[in-house]
Amino acid sequence: MKLYRNLSEAVVQNLHDIFEGNRYADKVIEKVLKQNPKWGARDRRFIAETTYDIVRWYRLFRELSGAQERDYWSLLATWCIWNTIELPPWKEFEGIQPREVEENYERVKSVRKIRESIPDWLDTLGEAELPAWWDKELHALNEQAKVVLRVNTLKISREGLQKLLLEEEGIETERLPEFPDALLLEERQNIFTRQAFKDGLFEVQDAASQRIAAYLDVKPGMRVIDACAGAGGKTLHLAALMQNKGRIIAMDTEGWKLDELKKRARRAGASDLIEARLIDSSKVIKRLEASADRLLLDVPCSGLGVLRRNPDAKWKLSLEFIEKVQVLQQEIFQQYSVMVKPGGMMVYATCSILPSENEKQVEKFLATHGDKFEMLSQDRCWPSEGYDGFFMAKIRRRQ
């Protein structure tokens, strides 16, 4: 593989914007690719994947190269050595020796927080909460995320979409037997430019994430509330599972997210079923008291279950943020649960793997609401199983 100067400069600029501009990696990459529309697919893939890779291994690569803060060229050089790519004779790479990188790895490979490239505080937290699981799950979170599609069954069957993508777009996919609406891309690519996406035939949604809506056990004709809907990925899945029959109230505290949800709902052919409501006061919740057959609480969380998809998050997170979000999770649990009607059910879900955001939150809620609610079941998706990390608990309101 040959390293090109202009593409390398783009990667270095991305790293600068992520670590010094405190911007999200996906937005940084999206911007640079839009600014350079003449780049081919291979060049675009190099920029995106190299940026993510260096962000993922930031601490390790700094340790291996001896790079100072803001020395992103040394990190790129280390990435090249890591991937057995010959370094060009550029001045930015002067003094970087492959042998030193290899020797440094032998020195630090036994130190988990360096080998797996995470902050000290996160390693301490993970070890404390998941002593039997942390090594395995942390390693899995450093793998590259798979690209999974969720078929929009309001418009097409899984078999129909798989055939259409292959015959009209030349895209090969694999069915995942344990996920009835999922197709796994055989090769990573920008799927959003394809006509099938523009026609609303699918959404990009991790296989584990697809389990959440199904776990809510919705039926056509039900009244369902998605109380932390965001941009609506799970809302749209609920609409498909309900066969576009009934009512879904999609709620969020951020209006711009609901605007995006409306656009996606129109594309998916589900806009008649879905009503977006902004939570701008406690009255919004009060008006919906005891009205929902099903309630989804996909609450804000640390996002530790999706680090391989968002590797920059581990450098932006803090213990203080996680402690604050845990307070918010319980507040949402306590305040929003009133919307479930007697005999109805709710699902509490996160994309975290920490018990303090998951089982402990459910226990705390039931400790004060056990007279009105009862646990039915709970489940987990571990990153080591191949997809994102999720937790879900199904809780019924007593009659």
Q: Would you call 184 helix, strand, or coil by DSSP?
A: strand
> Whose CA is closest to 302, among 289, 318, 291, 290?
318
Rounded CA separation 190/170 (Å) = 13
Place of tokens 């929003």: 336
Question: Rounded to whole angstroms, how far apart are CA atoms 93 and 74?
Answer: 7
> Taking each helix axis from N to C terminus, what angle separates 41-56 and 58-65, rounded to the nearest 10 degrees?
80
d(CA 148, CA 181): 10
Whether the CB-CB separation of 226 and 248 falls below 8 Å is answered with yes
By C-alpha distance, which of 205, 208, 94, 225 is closest to 152? 205
Sign of CA dihedral 218, 224, 229, 235: positive
What angle in degrees, to the nearest 10, is found between the helix axes of 98-108 and 72-82? 80
- Write the DSSP string, 230-275: TT-HHHHHHHHHTTT-SEEEEEES-HHHHHHHHHHHHHHT-TTTEE
What is the CB neighbour count within 10 angstroms for residue 214? 17
Q: Which amino acid type is present at position 311? A: P
Tokens of 61: 């690569």
Q: Measured between alpha carbons, how far is 109 from 115 in angstroms, rounded to an integer?
A: 5
The residues assigned a catalytic role are 351
